[in-house]
Amino acid sequence: MNPVEKSPAADTAHKHRSAYGLDGLGLSGYRKAYWNLSVDEYYQEALFREEGVKTKHGALVVKSGERTARSANDKFIVKEPSSETDISWGEYNIPYQEQDFNRVFEKMNSYLKGKDLFIQDGIAGASPEHQIPIRVITTWAWQGLFTKNMFITEEAAIGGQDFKPEFTVLSFPDFQGDPKEDHLNSETLILMDFAKRLVLIGNTGYGGEIKKSIFTAINYYLPKKKILTMHCSANVGKRGDSALFFGLSGTGKTTLSADPNRKLIGDDEHGWDDRGIFNFEDGSYAKVIDLSPEAEPDIHKCTRTYGTILENVILDPETGEVDLFDDSITKNTRASYPLKCIPYSLPSKRGNHPENIIFLTFDANGVMPPIARLSHDQALYHFISGYTSKVGGTEAGVGEAPELTFSACFGAPFMVFHPAYYAQLLKENLRKYNVKTWLLNTGLVGGPAGVGKRISIKHTRAILTAALDGSLNQVDYQVDPWFGFEVPLVCPGVPDRILDPAASWSDQEAYQKNITELLDQFKKNMKKYEDSTPPEVLLAGPK
């Protein structure tokens, strides 16, 4: 970009400016601020600044830089009086000094000299009673469009010039921190201050850091109001029967909730209040590596839609076509698009209290059944455990092979309070609304990683359909001797042998060894939570 050349949206940069400007935050020295641009204007600015390339079908292909996944080890939370005693400090909630945060903020402010800013205002939360006005301020135009895709940004919803944010994200992808002076783990930083209601992001352009920073903030503010915040997707059937799908990235939240026979509420983050469930976002950030039009036609169509951002996807410059099977940059390729791109998405982004909750686990050991029915105590045990696997580059440092992990609440990196806090809110809702809970394995069968194969998506969908339409309420079950939960003996459209994980192993001795080792991992992990977990929940774990 030529600094002297006039940018496409220069004349309309202040047209949608909020009366609550940047002075209150203390930002100064920047060259020009572009406020709440239209999709067309964001496109023009991104192309003008050579941040991306338009595909043949209209999507915008961009690169996030060196960081192509979340940088969990670079996320810190300021330890300050108003929130210090609330936060469960540890691996994902690393304490940070307030004076260091203030110094980094001043450095970022100085960094802005002569640079342009893009400000996108929005609303997080489809429930009018529990909405959080958010603002994202970034130096990259495409990240403004990303924010516009992911949150409620219509002028009528945000209030136009009267908009005042309650939480702000500064995302400066080219700004580098000083590990030594700023007490960081690297030059990358995600610094959260709940008292200031502010997040600082530097040295990463990965769009997921913006959305997950806002989600982390939601996980702090709303549970204080007794609202259960959840890392899950949600949809609703023709009877008004809502379903929730908990799981880490790569376990099937987006794929399985995108069902043409049900209305999509959202694919990643939701709240549950006394009226029902509601989405926090207005868009999807779907993983698109190996995405095919046959397996996922609706999501695939979104990758060929104007307004969609394709992050780290490979584009052929001659044909203008993208290759969704090319992982030369990362396996964690992403598409950001508004939910309205999915034809069966629900405009209200709200649903009734769920009838079914599904915990999605990617079992890298290949020993878990495809589905199991859980008692409420078992549901709480598995919610606190969060057994699954990290899949294909979704977090910095994760390789190609799935890595066994326990992620409390199926979203530990984004949860601020102790898992028991969220579990108690879930417990109250499970009992109050008599919710059926299931554990659905979308991982391996027939052996561990390198030996077993991922369970067929055809069989997974058939099993899920049977659980949601009530068919699995009409069949016989057997109690699993290892975990104590109930496993159906039959399921419509699924061979009986598929329901028995041991039957798919050629080496039964190896099967016994692997499941015994997994049980030991469960027990070892739960020791971290023994003091805060009710005895009846502890007893609901593996035998």
**Burial class, 76, CB count within 10 angstroms (exposed 0-12 / middle 13-18 / buried 19+):** buried
Q: Clarify whether 56 is annotated catalytic.
A: no
- 3-state class percentages of the chain: helix first, strand second, coil last, to nearest 5: 30, 25, 45
Which is catalytic among the residues 267, 268, 282, 377? 268
Q: Clarify whether 32 is annotated catalytic.
A: no
Instruction: Describe the strand order of the beta sheet including 32-35 as a list of residue ranges.
Output: 32-35, 116-124, 132-138, 167-172, 198-202, 189-193, 75-78, 94-96
Beta bridge mates, 75: 190
Which is catalytic among the residues 16, 148, 211, 253? 253
Q: What are phi and psi of 172, to 5 degrees?
A: -120, 90
Pure H helices in 270-349: 297-302
* 217, two tokens: 């903030």
Dist CA 151 CA 126 (whole Å):
10
Q: Give the count of alpha carbons within 13 A of 250, CB side only.
A: 25
Dist CA 31 CA 29 (whole Å):
7
* 174, two tokens: 């080219």
Q: Count other Cβ atoms within 10 Å, centred on residue 162.
A: 9
Dist CA 372 CA 190 (whole Å):
38
Dist CA 345 CA 353 (whole Å):
18
Q: Clarify whether 253 is annotated catalytic.
A: yes
Which is catalytic among the residues 16, 212, 270, 390? 212
Burial of 121-148, coded b for 16+ CB within 10 Å and e otherwise, reads: bbbbbbbeebbbbbbbbbbbbbbbbbbb
Q: Count other Cβ atoms within 10 Å, centred on residue 263.
A: 20
Dist CA 167 CA 199 (whole Å):
8
Q: Clarify whether 334 is annotated catalytic.
A: yes
Which is catalytic among the residues 262, 331, 334, 459? 334
User: Quick check: 372 and 486 in contact, CB under 8 A?
Assistant: yes
Which is catalytic among the residues 71, 216, 249, 385? 249
Q: Clarify whether 249 is annotated catalytic.
A: yes
User: Quick check: 359 and 441 in contact, CB under 8 A?
Assistant: no
Q: Clarify whether 471 is annotated catalytic.
A: no
Nearest alpha-carbon partner for 349 in 80, 81, 157, 79: 157
Which is catalytic among the residues 16, 17, 67, 70? 70
**Burial class, 503, CB count within 10 angstroms (exposed 0-12 / middle 13-18 / buried 19+):** middle
Q: Clarify whether 70 is annotated catalytic.
A: yes
Which is catalytic among the residues 231, 270, 350, 436? 231
Write out the catalytic residue numbers: 70, 212, 231, 249, 253-254, 268, 334
